[in-house]
């Protein structure tokens, strides 16, 4: 087993991302791929304005991890709009994105996971309250620091780099 720096980038269309965090609430990792328990409930991973989050864990596909993901996130609430066959690891947590216009968006029960397809690792994105928006997109509503404003953001996974989730603010 080898630990890898698994990077996923949240690429914001308006280029006004300042920083972000992902706090792991629950997770599933293929057996033997995290002997040091680097992925754990309460883990906080941060990104800077480039939107890149790095998770240190091994990579081996497992139907058990895929089943855990599917049990927690319905297929129609993911960017691929179907259940995965195998995943290396999966996490559900709280995603916070901070923007240069002063808006801070908090998304609860967000799932990110890594699988493998066509010779490369790919990332899955979804959420328990996400709504599939057709194609490989979901819309998520966020809590924010702006009163009477529920920002909606669209997340696209597919048609871009296998380690990229495109983020487009729909309302701000």
Sequence length of the chain is: 172
Contact between residue 138 and residue 132 where contact means Cβ atoms under 8 Å apart: yes
**Helix (H) or strand (E) run with residue 70 in it:** helix 63-72
- Its pTM stands at 0.94
Distance CA 22, CA 45 (A): 5
| C-alpha to C-alpha distances, 154 to 29, 137, 172, nearest whole angstrom | 27, 7, 12
137-141: strand order across its sheet:
52-57, 4-12, 164-171, 152-156, 137-141, 131-132
> What would the two tokens of residue 156 be?
């696209």
Phi, psi of 69 (to 5 degrees): -60, -50
Torsion of CA 57, 137, 167, 14, to 10 degrees: 160
pLDDT value of position 149: 73
pLDDT value of position 151: 87
pLDDT value of position 86: 96
What is the pLDDT tens value at each position of the chain, 172 positions in all? 999 999 999 999 887 999 999 999 999 999 999 999 999 999 999 999 999 999 999 999 999 999 999 999 999 999 999 999 999 999 999 999 999 988 899 999 999 999 998 788 899 999 999 998 888 999 999 998 876 677 899 999 877 888 999 999 887 5
> What would the two tokens of residue 150 be?
């529920």
Distance CA 29, CA 27 (A): 7
pLDDT value of position 153: 93
């Amino acid at each position: 087993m080898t630990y890898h720096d698994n990077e996923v980038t949240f690429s914001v269309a308006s280029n006004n991302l300042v920083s972000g965090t992902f706090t792991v609430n629950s997770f599933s990792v293929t057996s033997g791929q995290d002997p040091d328990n680097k992925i754990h409930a309460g883990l906080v991973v941060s990104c800077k304005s480039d939107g890149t989050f790095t998770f240190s864990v091994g990579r081996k596909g497992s139907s058990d991890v895929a089943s855990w993901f599917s049990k927690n996130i319905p297929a129609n609430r993911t960017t691929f709009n179907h259940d995965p066959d195998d995943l290396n690891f999966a996490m559900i947590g709280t995603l916070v994105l901070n923007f240069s216009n002063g808006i801070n968006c908090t998304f609860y029960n967000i799932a990110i996971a890594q699988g493998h397809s066509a010779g490369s690792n790919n990332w899955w994105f979804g959420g328990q309250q996400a709504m599939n928006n057709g194609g490989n997109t979901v819309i998520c509503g966020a809590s924010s620091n702006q009163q009477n404003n529920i920002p909606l953001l669209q997340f696209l996974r597919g048609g871009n780099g296998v380690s990229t989730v495109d983020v487009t603010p729909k309302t701000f």
